[in-house]
Amino acid sequence: MAATRLMVSTTNIGTSSSLLFKAAASPFFKPRHFSLCFNNTSKLVSKKRSFTCSALYRPDFQIKEEGTPETLDYRVFFVDNSGKKISPWHDIPLHVGDGTFNFIVEIPKESSAKMEVATDEIFTPIKQDTKKGKLRYYPYNINWNYGLLPQTWEDPSFANPDVDGAFGDNDPVDVVEIGQSRGNIGQLMKVKPLGCLAMIDEGELDWKIVAISLDDPKASLVNDIDDVEKHFPGTLTAIRDWFRDYKIPDGKPANNFGLGNKAANKAYALKVITETNESWANLVKRSTPAGELSLV
């Protein structure tokens, strides 16, 4: 297939039968030409149209690919019903409700291509990361679905006092989803957080939220960090070791972890999510300088 052709991906993004799914309503969702609401305490109102924080807005959208996988021009875009591109970082709601969240798969489990949301490109599509003009791959497969929480941001100007004053890495918050099913690039999963690791990557704080898909057969059995070891024995150690060591084959030092080198519990993970959602809100309100980040 020609690299310039736009096509609908065969990626499963929520059900096995359709590319379409309905995103959950959220007071944090920022549809184009609508108001933007934060915790029901403040809002930005579009000049074209406004709505209240309690209004329901459930957009349908599709995954579309441009270019050829494993090339520099490959992009995975999100497109709404009208054919307009939307941002998976800014336009997909964070909150599903009842303590659950939307999670977007960037890197499916048992794969090694380092895919990520392009935070500096318009509509922030998913692309393969590069270094010195070459596509990046992990030295070995990642063993879990890996991706981001939309509408979160690790502020690089914030020195976190809980983690030796480390500054945020300027990206959305990462999720390590431990369920048994292999996701697809761009797939949206509803997940519940179970805990988190405070990874320090070359001096930057890079949170890893440990979560599980609500569709996983063991989802009802795991509700906090202690349940992970009980029902997924060895998983937390494996996650920590994987992220500690994955840069070593490239000649870089091992990553470090804050919080006593241990996974924090669910309550702490929810605290991280809340704080980084607030940082994202300040970013899109332009209360915080965006630098080269795309807010579209």
Query: Which token pair is 107?
Result: 């890197």
Cα–Cα distance for residue pair 216/221, rounded to 1 Å: 10
Q: How far is CA 212 from CA 48, 100, 117, 271, in A?
A: 39, 10, 21, 18
The residues that are catalytic are 138
Cα–Cα distance for residue pair 154/198, rounded to 1 Å: 12
Q: How far is CA 133 from CA 117, 170, 185, 220, in A?
A: 17, 21, 22, 44
8-state DSSP, 54? T
Cα–Cα distance for residue pair 133/131, rounded to 1 Å: 5
8-state DSSP, 101? E
Cβ 77 vs Cβ 123: under 8 Å: yes
Query: Which token pair is 176?
Result: 């390590």
Cβ 210 vs Cβ 143: under 8 Å: no
**Taking Cα atoms as reference points, which of 177, 262, 174, 172 lies closest to residue 211?**
177
Query: Which token pair is 11?
Result: 């990626």
